[in-house]
Structure formats: structure tokens, C-alpha cells
């Protein structure tokens, strides 16, 4: 893996509103002395998010991780198995275990990297109670096929929408699908509050339970109706996220243009392929992953980029290879294993300069040319391009 600590070009950078705007809001919060407990800025964030997520009532939460855990709790699933991609971040699966549910790993589609509905269908058994899917790197999961399966088999469907802000499915933002969707507002996302999340529910009764669960399990009276957690979003995080929501459209536009620029710059590299975007989907491009034909090509690119001070990520580290999830491995997941050896995420963020992007693409092109006698890009050349 590339050495992040020395990288002069990070893989991502938070897109922030003008500091003066945030300072004004912080001054107001100090004045009010309301630092948490869903005061003005949590409410403003939820109101604004309703329009952006195409859902009438999103709920703020301290992180997507806690939001997913509490969402499964709110759905009151009976004990059983949940079909989940291994190709995801650990939170998608950890949320199941915190609820005593058993993960059954499904493979992903080789073109979109999202969960493969045909494999899901084959894994459904009398023990199955739910499906967890992920909008991988910001690309909507195959929502239509998953909703059909969930409906046919009476299963709960939870969408890990950590990467989902800005993505669209059949013309709609991603807040209105499945039984629940949970978004992340952490620092690596298109919109950030520093930390934070937003959760949406199809059924108002599930949503109501969630509003108790995110506050320890009670509301105001110290009498837990459910066994909850502290999932409250602080007013400072909520205010930053609220201000940052204004940046979403610009961030999306910029990322789409940057992805196009990378694609043009790497168009002559037949050994690199790209995540496919099915008709009816808009990609949010939280991440951009290159897929190399051979693992040693990825290693060469990763090594050359690291030498030039450019950060990359092998992402995701599939759950079925994690120590904690080895006991749950049943069958093989050939596509996930192939992606594990071939994908490399490269820098993508709003103020990544075009010249730097071009340099990154050149390093990748050079790394693919045969032999070790290629020109090595030095840290100095990258720093110069970034200036
Ligand atoms: C797919 C996925 N799910 C969940 C999370 C957890 O989000 P958070 O950091 O807001 O808890 C992440 C984090 O990046 C993620 O990538």
C-alpha cells in the first residue's frame, strides 16, 4: 500500500465552506449554549437534506457507522442471516453483528463492483431476513433488482449510502430506497460535517424507533423504550454539514469533469478499465478506482505514484478476508478477490489541480510501459505541478 504519511498529494481533501461563514455560525452556537440535542443546526441540516435526498424526513446521526447499527435495530429484524457484499467497508457488516445478525457474503458485479443480485438470489434461504447493499464509490447499487428480491421473499433491505450523496437512481436522489438508507458526512465524503451521518426510512414506525435509538433509547424522560446508543450529532458538526450541503452540486460537477479528464489521459491504456455506470444511474464519485488487468501492473502504478508522493488506496479491503469475519466465510467470491488484487483508488477532490491530475495520469501511464528503464517522476515534479 502507498505510504500515506509522506504523500504530498493526498487521495482526498474535504471541501469546506468559507471559514468566515463557519465562524459566524460557531459564534451563534456559543451564544445559544446549545451544543447538541438536535437544536437549530441539526434541524436545519435535516430540513435541507430532505430536498437533497428526495426524502421528506432524514434524521441526523453521529456517523454512518452508528446510523447503520441503529437502523438495523430500528427495523426489528427477527434473528437470522443477512446477505451482504464482502466488497465494502467494515461498518456495513459490523452493523449486522452488533444486531446479532449473521452475514452471508455475496459477490459483486464485475463491471459495477456493486452487489450481484443474481448471487443474492442464490443465497436466499429460509434463514435469510435481510439484504444489505452498498452504493460503491458513489455508484447506486442495483436498487430495482434488490427491491424486487426483498419484496418477493419478505426481506428487509438496508442501503449503506455512506458514499451516496450526489448519486441518483432513475432520476431520484438515493434517500428514498430500501427500508433504510444511511449516508456518511465524515471528512472523506463530498459533503462533510467533520463526522456525521443521515438516515432515511420507508416506514414511519421504523423511523420513530430510530429517533429513540439515536438518543440512548429514550426521549427526554430517561425511560428507555428501546436499547439505544448515543448517536447524537453535535451542533458544531451539524452546522458544518449544513453549510457544506451548499457545495454538493459544485463538488459533483468538478468530480465528473476530473473523471473525464483522467479517462481521456488514460484512454490509450488498454490494461486499465473503469467502474461501469448502468443506464439510469448517476455516479457520485466519492472515489475513483482504476482496475488493472494484472496485479503486478497495479503494484507498479502504486509504487511509482508513492515514489512521486501521490497517495493511493487499495479499497475496499474485503470483509471475508478480515480476521473478524473469517468464521463467516462459506463459498468463494471470485469477483471480489479479483478486485482486491487489481483495484487502486487515485486522488480525486475538488481542488486537485488539472496539472496535478495530468501528472498523476502520466505517472500511471509510465508505470504501465514495459521495463524498469522508464522515467521516474520525482516528488519535485509533482510539487511543481500542484503549485
Ligand atoms: C461503505 C461505507 N460504509 C460505512 C462507512 C462508515 O461511515 P462513517 O465514517 O460516517 O461512520 C464508510 C466510511 O467511509 C464506508 O465507506
The structure's pTM equals 0.94
Same domain membership, residue 299 and residue 230: no
The mean pLDDT value for 219-245 works out to 97
Same domain membership, residue 252 and residue 238: no
Strands of the chain (E only): list them.
59-61, 81-85, 102-106, 128-134, 156-161, 168-169, 172-173, 180-184, 197-201, 272-274, 281-282, 288-292, 343-346
Integer angstrom CA distances of residue 331 from 103, 121, 317: 12, 15, 18
Q: Strand, helix or coil at 182?
A: strand
User: Is 197 near ligand 1, meaning CB less than 6 Å away?
Assistant: yes
User: Quick check: 112 and 276 in contact, CB under 8 A?
Assistant: yes
Number of helical H runs and strand E runs in the chain: 13, 13
Kindly report the average pLDDT of the chain as a whole number.
94
Same domain membership, residue 135 and residue 68: yes
Boundary of a domain, candidates 181, 210, 245: 245
Spatial neighbors of 314 by CB under 8 A, at least 6 apart, are 1, 302, 340, 343, 344, 345
Same domain membership, residue 50 and residue 24: yes
If you measure from the C-alpha of residue 90 to the centroid of ligand 1, how many angstroms do you get, rounded to a whole number?
8
pLDDT in tens, 258-305: 999 999 999 999 999 999 999 999 999 999 999 999 999 999 999 999
pLDDT in tens, 130-144: 999 999 999 999 999
Cell numbers found for residue 122: 442464490
If you measure from the C-alpha of residue 28 to the centroid of ligand 1, how many angstroms do you get, rounded to a whole number?
30
Same domain membership, residue 198 and residue 98: yes
Same domain membership, residue 154 and residue 95: yes
pLDDT at 275: 98
Residue 274 φ then ψ, to 5°: -125, 155
Same domain membership, residue 227 and residue 116: yes
Sign of CA dihedral 26, 28, 32, 34: negative
Ligand 1, from 185, 186, 196: best to mutate by most atoms within 8 Å of Cβ? 186
In a domain, 363, yes or no: yes
In a domain, 42, yes or no: yes
Boundary of a domain, candidates 190, 217, 245: 245
- Res 387 pLDDT > 90: no
Boundary of a domain, candidates 222, 245, 268: 245
What domain count does the chain have? 2
User: Is 160 near ligand 1, meaning CB less than 6 Å away?
Assistant: yes
Q: Which residues pair with 103 in a beta bridge?
A: 82
Distance CA 310, CA 289 (A): 15
User: Is 192 near ligand 1, meaning CB less than 6 Å away?
Assistant: no
Integer angstrom CA distances of residue 170 from 3, 284, 289: 39, 14, 23
Give the percent of the chain with pLDDT over 90: 93
Q: Which domain holds residue 129?
A: 19-245
Same domain membership, residue 136 and residue 268: no
Amino acid at each position: 500500500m502507498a505510504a500515506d504519511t509522506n504523500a504530498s498529494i493526498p487521495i482526498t481533501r474535504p471541501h469546506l465552506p468559507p471559514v468566515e461563514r463557519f465562524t459566524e455560525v460557531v459564534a451563534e452556537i456559543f451564544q445559544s449554549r446549545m451544543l447538541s440535542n438536535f437544536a437549530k443546526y441539526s434541524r436545519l441540516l435535516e430540513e435541507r437534506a430532505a430536498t437533497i435526498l428526495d426524502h421528506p424526513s432524514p434524521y441526523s446521526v453521529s456517523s454512518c457507522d452508528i446510523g447503520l447499527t441503529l437502523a438495523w435495530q430500528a427495523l426489528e429484524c427477527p434473528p437470522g442471516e443477512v446477505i451482504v457484499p464482502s466488497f465494502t467497508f467494515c461498518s456495513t457488516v459490523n452493523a449486522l453483528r452488533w444486531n446479532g445478525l449473521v452475514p452471508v457474503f455475496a459477490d459483486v458485479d464485475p463491471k459495477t463492483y456493486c452487489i450481484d443480485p443474481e448471487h443474492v438470489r442464490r443465497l436466499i434461504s429460509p434463514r435469510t431476513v435481510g439484504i444489505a447493499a452498498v452504493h460503491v464509490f458513489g455508484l447506486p447499487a442495483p436498487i430495482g433488482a434488490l427491491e424486487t428480491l426483498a419484496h418477493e421473499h419478505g426481506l428487509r433491505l438496508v442501503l449503506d449510502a455512506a458514499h451516496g450523496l450526489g448519486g441518483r437512481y432513475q432520476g431520484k436522489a438515493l434517500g428514498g430506497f430500501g427500508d433504510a438508507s444511511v449516508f456518511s458526512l465524515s471528512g472523506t465524503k463530498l459533503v462533510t460535517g467533520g463526522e456525521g451521518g443521515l438516515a432515511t426510512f420507508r416506514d414511519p414506525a421504523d423511523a420513530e424507533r430510530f429517533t429513540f435509538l439515536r438518543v440512548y433509547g429514550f426521549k427526554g424522560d430517561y425511560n428507555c423504550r428501546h436499547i439505544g446508543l448515543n448517536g447524537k450529532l453535535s451542533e458544531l458538526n451539524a452546522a458544518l454539514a449544513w453549510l457544506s450541503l451548499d457545495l454538493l452540486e459544485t463538488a459533483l460537477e468538478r468530480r465528473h469533469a476530473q473523471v473525464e479528464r483522467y479517462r481521456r489521459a488514460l484512454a490509450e491504456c488498454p490494461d486499465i478499465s473503469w467502474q461501469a455506470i448502468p443506464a439510469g444511474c448517476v455516479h457520485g464519485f466519492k472515489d475513483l478506482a482504476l482496475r488493472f488487468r494484472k496485479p503486478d501492473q497495479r503494484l507498479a502504478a502504486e509504487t511509482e505514484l508513492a515514489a512521486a508522493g501521490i497517495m493511493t488506496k487499495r479499497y475496499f479491503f474485503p470483509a471475508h478476508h478480515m480476521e473478524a469475519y473469517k468464521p463467516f466465510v462459506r463459498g468463494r467470491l471470485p469477483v471480489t478477490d479479483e478486485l482486491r488484487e487489481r483495484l487502486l483508488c487515485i486522488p480525486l477532490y475538488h481542488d486537485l489541480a488539472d496539472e496535478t491530475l495530468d501528472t498523476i495520469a502520466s505517472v500511471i501511464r509510465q508505470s504501465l510501459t514495459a521495463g524498469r528503464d522508464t522515467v521516474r517522476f520525482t516528488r519535485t515534479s509533482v510539487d511543481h505541478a500542484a503549485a
